[in-house]
Amino acid sequence: MRKIIALASGLLFSFGLIISDMVNPARVIAFLDVTGDWDPTLGFVMGGAITTASIAWIIARPRKSAYFGGTIPPMPTQPVDRNLVTGSAIFGIGWGLVGICPGPAIVAMSFGKWEVAVFIVAMMAGMALYNFGWFKLPKLGLGPA
Amino acid sequence: MNPDWINAIIGGLMIGTATGILMLGNGRIAGISGILGGWIGSSKPSDWAERALFLIGLLAAPLVYYASNSVPQITVTNSFPLLVIGGLAVGIGTIMGSGCTSGHGICGNSRLSKRSIVATLTFMATGGITVAALNYFA
Q: Min CA distance, A142 vs chain B (Å)?
A: 16
What ipTM was assigned to the predicted interfaces of this complex? 0.93
Q: What confidence tens digit (pLDDT) does each residue in A72-91 have?
A: 998 888 999 999 999 999 99
Q: What confidence tens digit (pLDDT) does each residue in B70-126 have?
A: 877 889 999 999 999 999 999 999 999 999 999 999 999 999 999 999 999 999 999
Which residues of chain A make contact with B106, given a CB cutoff of 8 A?
Answer: 46, 49-50, 53
Report the C-alpha gap between A12 and B106 in whole angstroms. 15
Q: Do A13 and B126 touch (CB under 8 A)?
A: no
Range list of H helices, chain B: 4-26, 32-40, 45-68, 80-96, 109-110, 114-137
Of B14, B56, B130, the CB nearest to A12: B14
In degrees rounded to 5, what are phi and psi of residue B128? -65, -45
Nearest CA in chain B to A26: B75
The domains of chain A are located at 2-131
Report the C-alpha gap between B28 and A35 in whole angstroms. 37
Of the residues A55, A98, A132, the best mutation for testing chain B's interface (the one with the most B CB atoms within 10 Å of its CB) is A98
Q: Report pLDDT for A132.
A: 82
How far does CA A7 lie from the centroid of its chain?
A: 18
Q: What confidence tens digit (pLDDT) does each residue in B35-64 have?
A: 888 777 656 777 888 999 999 999 999 999
Report the C-alpha gap between A15 and B12 in whole angstroms. 10
How confident is the model over A61-67, as a mean pLDDT? Answer: 91
> Is the distance from CB of A7 to CB of B54 less than 8 angstroms?
yes
Q: Report pLDDT for B39.
A: 77
B66 or B17, greater pLDDT: B17
Of B46, B86, B114, the CB nearest to A94: B86
Report the C-alpha gap between B84 and A118 in whole angstroms. 7
How far does CA B67 lie from the centroid of its chain?
A: 23
pLDDT over 90 at A111, yes or no: no
Of B16, B24, B111, the CB nearest to A48: B16
Q: What confidence tens digit (pLDDT) does each residue in A2-61 have?
A: 999 999 999 999 999 999 999 999 999 999 999 888 999 999 999 999 999 999 999 999
Report the C-alpha gap between B121 and B112 in whole angstroms. 13
Q: Report pLDDT for B45.
A: 73
- DSSP reduced 3-state for A71: strand
Which residues of chain A make contact with B9, given a CB cutoff of 8 A?
Answer: 44-45, 47-48
> Is the distance from CB of B8 to CB of A27 less than 8 angstroms?
no
Confidence of residue A110 (pLDDT cuts 50, 70, 90): confident
Of the residues A27, A77, A95, the best mutation for testing chain B's interface (the one with the most B CB atoms within 10 Å of its CB) is A95
A111 or A11, greater pLDDT: A11
pLDDT over 70 at B30, yes or no: yes
Report the C-alpha gap between A136 and A128 in whole angstroms. 12
pLDDT over 50 at B8, yes or no: yes
pLDDT over 70 at A139, yes or no: no
Which residues of chain A make contact with B111, given a CB cutoff of 8 A?
Answer: 54, 57, 75
Kind plus residue range of the DSSP H or E element containing A8? helix A2-19
**Four-residue CA torsion sign, B125, B131, B134, B137:** negative
Residue A21 is which amino acid?
Answer: D
pLDDT over 80 at A140, yes or no: no
